[in-house]
Copies of this chain bind each other. A is one copy, B any other.
Amino acid sequence: MHRSPLQERRDLALGPGAELFYDDPVEIVRGEGCYIFDRSGRRYLDLYNNVPCVGHGNRAVAEAMATQQATLNVHSRYLHEGIVAYAERLCALHHDGIESVVFCCTGTEANEVALAMARAVTGQAGIVCSDAAYHGNAGLVAGLTEVGSDTQGPAGVVRGFPYPDCYRPLEPGASDDELCAAYLARVEAAIARLKRDGHGLAAFIVCSIFANEGLPRVPAGFLAAATELVHREGGLVIGDEVQCGFGRTGYWWGYEAMAFTPDIVVMGKPMGNGLPLAAAASTRENVAAFRRQTDYFNTFASTPLQAAVGMTVLDEIERLALVVNAASTGGYLLEALGSRLAGVAGVGDIRGCGLFLAVEIVRDLSSGEPDPAAARDLANRFRAAGILLGAAGVHGNVLKLRPPLVFGRDDVPALLEACDTVFGIRGER
């Protein structure tokens, strides 16, 4: 593949190995709503980016950013109305157990805070997560990345359980209830091993919709039952809402879509429409325990800038009715994709909630064997057809559709046409 002069310069400036999407990377210059434009002016429908949730180039956010930056932007050890009001508004969007907020810049930082908080509250060290989790790129949370089932993480305090999945279930042929019990038994076993080894249980941490795992269909009631189990065992439940929060699922929070109530919620990505902004929130008591133990301070977090931008993102989500849009447009898209791709070779499953959909690409329908090469190939073909999406999931075989929340019904036909082209070309081979 031809490498552009910019790509050559990038290799030196950022060091070789800085990831680029697609065999033929897109050079982007502008974004608007759920569209991205390349240098030649070509328009792409963005089905990948969840961060610009209220739209690429959203004017209200840009203006709030500029106004606050021109007025005041400084660290949090002075009193400032903005950040207090923003924290209050965020908490009011959650269940009653969410009263106090620790602001951070990235999801990694916020998950790190959540784990430290669970440890401060419980006095225990052990962590249970799924065997295909991703909660961040550094520190303790990086140790959670695909830790594997039943194995040990760093310092032996992290134990994985097999992520719940009705498509490739732990026990083929089992009923939903039986499956739920089977996965719960594995969580229970992970907790028992932590306790046997003297680590105790601090936290059970999950992405509320298991996004990194590939957005599996989860046996009904699993997360509510896991929450009960974790509480019985003395631990706290952390709902990582970095990918699924702020309306993505058609509910404000992924844990509402999945019907459970986490003790600590972690927010990030879409929270600032691109401004680094993340948070961990819980009861006043839990946050106080964390602050007592750590004296946590973050130069760029809890600032007037974060508050002004975060507030405006909430305003825009409400003004544009994006939670409802995610539910209705997401449902419409799921149905439309379902009928368009019914019977298409290689399409094993289509699922998701709100504006977060997954198309499972497999070698053949009977085995359900993942086909990551085909998924990568499809992503490249979609890019050529003017649609930006990615392949994800633990096997890398799941096409992930996760557009800005301003994606509407009018944007669906272009995607369906591209499906014809992309899957059609593939069918003719």
Which A residues fall within an 8 A CB radius of B? 4, 6-7, 9-10, 12-21, 25-31, 36, 49, 51-52, 56-59, 61-63, 65-67, 69-81, 83-84, 87-88, 91, 99-103, 105-109, 112, 137-140, 155, 268-269, 273-276, 284, 287-288, 290-292, 294-303, 305
Contact = CB atoms under 8 A, between A and B. Distances in A.
Contacts of A51: 74-75, 299-300
Contact of A84 (B9, B99, B288, B303): B9
B296 A137 contact: yes
A56 B79 contact: no
Given A62-B70, A297-B137, A300-B106, A25 B78 contact: yes
Given A78-B26, A112-B139, A291-B17, A269 B299 contact: yes
Given A108-B109, A112-B138, 4 more contacts: A16-B288, A31-B73, A275-B275, A276-B301
Contact of A80 (B28, B74, B274, B300): B28
A105 B276 contact: yes
A139 to B, nearest CB: 3
Contacts of A91: 13
A72 B14 contact: no
A139 B139 contact: yes
Contacts of A62: 65-67, 69-70
A384 to B, nearest CB: 15
A301 B14 CA distance: 12
Contacts of A139: 112, 138-140
A72 B291 contact: no
Contacts of A303: 274
A6 B274 CA distance: 29
20 contacts: A9-B88, A12-B284, A14-B83, A14-B101, A15-B290, A15-B291, A18-B302, A19-B76, A21-B78, A29-B80, A31-B74, A57-B71, A65-B66, A105-B105, A106-B106, A107-B299, A112-B139, A137-B294, A268-B299, A269-B299
Contact of A13 (B21, B87, B106): B87
A31 B71 contact: yes
Contact of A15 (B28, B73, B288): B288
Contacts of A9: 84, 88
A25 B79 contact: yes
Nearest to A75: B51
6 closest A-B pairs by CB: A139-B139, A15-B287, A17-B291, A66-B66, A13-B87, A15-B100
A74 B73 CA distance: 22
Contacts of A58: 70
A10 B273 CA distance: 25
